[in-house]
Amino acid sequence: MKKYLALKASAGSGKTFALTVRYITLLLKGATPKEILTLTFTNKAANEMSERIYKTLLSLGEDEAYLNAIALESELSKEQILSKKSYLVNLFSNAALSIFTIDKFVNKILREFSGYAGINDDFEIKEDDVEKLSSKFLESLSLEEFDKLIDFSLFENKKYNSIFEVFKNMFEKAETIDVVNIDLSLIEIQKKEALQEALKIKEFILNCPNASNSAIKAVDYENFEELISKKWLEKDRAEEYSYFKKCSNELLEEFFSKTKEEVGNYYKLRSAFSLSRLFELYNLFKEYKRRYNSSKNYLHFDDISNICYELLSTKIDKEFLYFRLDSNFSHILIDEFQDTSLLQYKILKPLIEEILSSSEFKTFFYVGDTKQSIYRFRGGKRELFDYVLKTNPMVNVEVLNTNYRSCEQVVNYVNQAFNKLNSYEYHDQISVHKDGYVEVFEDEALLSEEKYENIAKKISELMQKGVNSNDIAILTYTNDDVLNLYSYLKKMFPSLKISTEMTSKLINQENVKAIINAIKYLYFQEGIYKENLNAIIGKAPESSFELNIDLKYRSVQESVLKIAQFLNVTDDNVMKFVELCSSYKNIVDFVYEIDELDASIENSEQVGLQILTIFKSKGLEFHTVLLLDRIKQKVANRDYLLFEYDNVNLKNIYYKIGGLDNYSIEYKEALKKEKALEFEDELNILYVAMTRAKKNMIIFKKKEKSVFDLLDLKIAALGEVIKSDNKTKNYEKSEKVIYKALDLGKQEKPIKVEEDNDNAYTLHAKYFGIATHFCLEMMNNFDEKSLHLAINLVKNRYSNYLDESDIANIKARVFQLIAHEEFLALTSNANYSKEQSLIYKGELKIIDLLVEKEGKYFIFDYKTTRDELQEHIEQVSHYEKAIKNILVNDEVYSFIIYLNEKGVKLKKV
DNA sequence: CAGTATGACATTTTT
DNA sequence: TGTCATACTG
């Protein structure tokens, strides 16, 4: 095993495999889980990582590939490894793990050293309330400071809101410059001087008998601003401007070059001035934000990394940090390294350096793929990957170029598309799976009204050819495309299940929006809200809204629910909304604060055809991928500032001004560099998109202005469509929220949803149920030891949704089950399978637990609700019938297990 | 027909 | 605020 290793892992080349193998090897070499710091980017990835390691340990020996790789890495024999299996399982499942997201880790450091930063260690983590923060900041300014802000705003012609937005951007970057004071009057003088020279050009042209109308129009400036809007100023010489050509002589060229010189001086002065002023204001803001945060005792994620970095670079010694951290990390594993931001790396650096310089057994490993770096816009710095290698020669590098994900046709197609680009570092991948299907389809419909016509056609064609709709994913560039495509396909195939993985705000979801507008209408009595409502729910304009409801005498929750019912718009999102409304004390708070609610929408249906953005698809794979061209044009980068880096070191910060590139070579170079990076981003997005498909990939390309022109993709159809494998799991079990009216009691009594978790079908109850099922699914045997292991997995996976007491609750319930005599009698010495899926009469069913004992079959279905509903019995007897039919066996018995806190009830059906 | 002016147009997102 | 389509100019 290489102690220090950087792994370049192309898409589908077994990155998680490598991480898992390394982790287990470290355990075999005597490391404890606590000292192996494993960093990922999302909670999802962190959960998946620990689950993957656990499952691999549990099934150690079954998968040859894993065993071989671990043997190779650890230099132990397979027998030696297998003899330690139960020890490893125990070790891993009973220890505190150090598998975190980077943000969680940074947060952890800050809390441990909060005293040195002068903050409380019990701070909350929250989003900033931008409106409040920006207005409070204004109030905090002295008259003089306030004037500076106003001057800047007027001078730059920028609104306060947009300036404030820039502050946030600067905050993220955490870079500073020395502020120099430049007097505004200097700029005014420079403007006058430039205009004076330019007026000589104007006079010259107007006096030139050959001047065309266009030439005369080109000199119609009265002031400096009009002057610099002229295109001809970009030329090097006057004669290069065709409308001036006929009048060009040496005198004109002299005026021209003099004007350009003066304008150039203006630009230089101006960019330095604006940059300084902006940073001056920003520093004020930064100071204020610190005060504001500490008074409210909360921090934003950006604050956390900012303060943490400041702490490390000024107040605490690196050695001190390392030895004071509550756990000593001897091993570091970093996933998706290409997405690490500069600031995050700077924070991790002392820990990495400590490992690299230690004489003990300490290791450092990072894995990533710069081709998949698509998050530069939020700080990801792909240059870091090679920079760390270059600056630490003891770190080895290995490249994974075998693709275990996609079929031959797909791999080859991607190879030929990317390896011909000369400005792109690409190494051909080797495929291991044969066949596959690639089609590039020039879709003229994409530019017309019926945009998605051909996509719908293709979907039905694929389904006819035997591709399961659950195996299809459609990838798009924007969330907007996801939504549009979703509603189109829903219209075309009403019974098709479609899921959209999106993160949009809950308050923007149609049904929720309808409710908000209804309430605002009832409260403010302003027609605009009623018309919004009519538009959303598809009523004719001016339709009336008649609901007799007294907002004042009901709780907010109650009103929201009543209105939802009245409008008939109750769904998962509305349910979540109802829950969140409990935080509003009264209707006044609600109408004024609801627009700031930051919660995200629920992913409605988790089964079916998937539509998602390419960004979201990163790290995922699909049987069949339909890849959509960029529908709308890309927007221009509207940042005020241009950060120029030399690899990872800040070289310069520029205040962006249109036209400055004509006068400053350095600025021009910086712009060019930025453009090259943007171009690389674009290629990376394409790379990510084209490496998601396992079997079939179909590209819908616009006839003109297609992003695929970057790769010069031609119309093609290669190979044969591969059918869905019958064994593919085409149903992801999740308990759908069954909507049931909450018992609201009488009007005078405000409702409390959280009072009775057992009966209300809240989201909390939903997660509780799923987690309980997950716990039972993860148990190898129905004994205490298995429960103990499984409950740890539940903790890792559901800690975001459930708290400690919930976990304890689940444990207690399951504990009672494994102590239940009848249940134990039925399951002991029997064969059983969990989450058994079966297809019966065209419908897919999942049985929680199926037990086979002495030729008899027992079906078990877990419920975490207290209610015993007829519906449960019907569901289970349906399973019973199906099993009897399929197995041709009459000895099938079914049970519903009600897992309650007070006791377990086994109900025979 | 090449060069120029003008107006319309629009992203990605975790913690 | 950069890009693109389009219309205009000489």
Residues 244-273 of A with CB under 7 A from strand C: 246
Nucleotide nearest to A305 in CA–C1' terms: B15
Tell me the residue range of the domain where A845 lies: 763-908
Q: How many CA atoms lie within 13 A of A66 on its CB side?
A: 22
Nucleotide nearest to A640 in CA–C1' terms: C1
The answer to whether position A119 is within a domain reads no
CATH number for the domain spanning A782: value is 3.90.320.10
Residues near chain B (nucleic strand), Cβ < 7 A? Answer: A 41-44, 101, 103-104, 127, 214, 217-218, 230-232, 235, 240-243, 301, 374-375, 377-378, 477-480, 502-503, 613, 615-616, 632-638
The answer to whether position A339 is within a domain reads yes
Nucleotides on chain C within 7 angstroms of protein Cβ: 1-5, 9-10
Q: Tell me how far CA of residue A702 lies from CA of A168, A210, A687, A694, A713, in angstroms.
A: 37, 47, 18, 24, 11
A9 carries a ligand binding annotation: yes
Give the pLDDT band of residue A81 (cuts 50, 70, 90): very high
The answer to whether position A118 is within a domain reads no
| Distance in Å, residue A6 CA to nucleotide C5 C1' | 48
Q: Does A744 have pLDDT greater than 70?
A: no
Dig out the tokens for A557 from the structure: 């929750």
Considering only CA atoms, name the residue closest to the C1' of nucleotide C3.
A636
Query: Where does a domain end: A577, A596, A615?
Result: A596
Q: Are residues A838 and A879 in the same domain?
A: yes
- Ranges of H-type helices in A754-820: 763-778, 784-798, 804-817
Q: Are residues A572 and A629 in the same domain?
A: no
Q: Does A766 have pLDDT greater than 70?
A: no
- Output the average pLDDT for chain A: 83
Q: Are residues A185 and A239 in the same domain?
A: yes
Query: Where does a domain end: A378, A400, A422?
Result: A400
Length of chain A: 909
Q: Are residues A612 and A696 in the same domain?
A: yes
Query: Where does a domain end: A695, A724, A739?
Result: A739
| Distance in Å, residue A193 CA to nucleotide C8 C1' | 34
User: Is strand C in 7 Å reach of the CB of A875?
Assistant: no
Nucleotide nearest to A660 in CA–C1' terms: C1
pLDDT at A761: 46
Q: Does A316 have pLDDT greater than 60?
A: yes
A30 carries a ligand binding annotation: no
A14 carries a ligand binding annotation: yes
Q: Tell me how far CA of residue A422 lies from CA of A417, A425, A669, A778, in angstroms.
A: 11, 8, 21, 49
Give the pLDDT band of residue A843 (cuts 50, 70, 90): low
User: Is strand C in 7 Å reach of the CB of A636?
Assistant: yes
Bridge partners of A363, per DSSP, are: A331
| Distance in Å, residue A204 CA to nucleotide B4 C1' | 21
Q: Are residues A383 and A429 in the same domain?
A: no
Residue range A845-867: mean pLDDT, rounded: 83
Q: Does A445 have pLDDT greater than 60?
A: yes
Nucleotides on chain B within 7 angstroms of protein Cβ: 3-5, 9-15
**In A781-891, which ranges are E strands?**
831-840, 843-853, 856-863
* Choice between A628 and A835, residue whose per-residue pLDDT is larger: A628
Give the pLDDT band of residue A751 (cuts 50, 70, 90): very low
The answer to whether position A117 is within a domain reads no
The answer to whether position A709 is within a domain reads yes
| Distance in Å, residue A191 CA to nucleotide B9 C1' | 32
Nucleotide nearest to A633 in CA–C1' terms: B10
Q: Does A703 have pLDDT greater than 60?
A: yes
CATH number for the domain spanning A646: value is 3.40.50.300
A769 carries a ligand binding annotation: no
CA angle A902, A907, A909 (to 5 degrees): 160
Q: What is the pTM of this model?
A: 0.73
| Distance in Å, residue A600 CA to nucleotide B5 C1' | 45
User: Is strand C in 7 Å reach of the CB of A202?
Assistant: no
pLDDT at A368: 93
The answer to whether position A747 is within a domain reads no
| Distance in Å, residue A436 CA to nucleotide C10 C1' | 58
Q: Are residues A53 and A78 in the same domain?
A: yes
Nucleotide nearest to A636 in CA–C1' terms: C2
Q: Are residues A474 and A370 in the same domain?
A: no
Q: How many domains does chain A have?
A: 5
Q: Are residues A31 and A53 in the same domain?
A: yes
Q: Long-range contacts for A840-843 (Cβ within 8 Å, ≥24 apart)? A: A840/A881, A840/A882, A840/A885, A840/A886, A841/A882
- Kindly state the greatest CA–CA separation across chain A: 111
User: Is strand C in 7 Å reach of the CB of A122?
Assistant: no
| Distance in Å, residue A197 CA to nucleotide B5 C1' | 24
Considering only CA atoms, name the residue closest to the C1' of nucleotide C2.
A636
Q: Are residues A137 and A233 in the same domain?
A: yes
What is d(CA A232, CA A516) in angstroms, rounded to the nearest whole number?
A: 53
The answer to whether position A828 is within a domain reads yes
Dig out the tokens for A533 from the structure: 């409502």
Considering only CA atoms, name the residue closest to the C1' of nucleotide B5.
A231
Q: Are residues A537 and A649 in the same domain?
A: no
The answer to whether position A120 is within a domain reads no
Q: Are residues A134 and A271 in the same domain?
A: yes
Q: Are residues A262 and A249 in the same domain?
A: yes
pLDDT tens digits, one per residue of A208-267: 888 888 888 888 888 888 888 888 888 888 888 888 888 888 888 888 888 888 888 888
